[in-house]
Amino acid sequence: MGDFTFGVDGLDRFLGDVLRRGSLVVLAGCPGVGKTSLASTICCSNALRGFKCLYLSFCEDREKLFN
């Protein structure tokens, strides 16, 4: 396992150690496939482990993200 986790056991096992400190992760896909959910899971899982995470979105507003 790398420095970080996806927060989803299956993804962590499948992708192994692709997440490293200083990495830039871009999630892209069609609307409704779970990009926002996965991004928040990645950020929350790693924040709980003491890492800092920055989430940027050009589509989601603050209220929608936190609801």
Say what the pTM is: 0.73
28-41: average pLDDT: 90
Residue 32 lies in a domain: yes
Residue 3 lies in a domain: no
The pLDDT value recorded for residue 29 is 92
Average pLDDT over the chain, rounded to an integer: 82
State the SS3 of the chain: CCCCCCCCHHHHHHHCCCCCCCCCCCCCCCCCCCHHHHHHHHHHHHHHCCCCCCCCCCCCCHHHHHC
- Report how many domains make up the chain: 1
35-55: average pLDDT: 87
Structural domain harbouring 62: 9-66
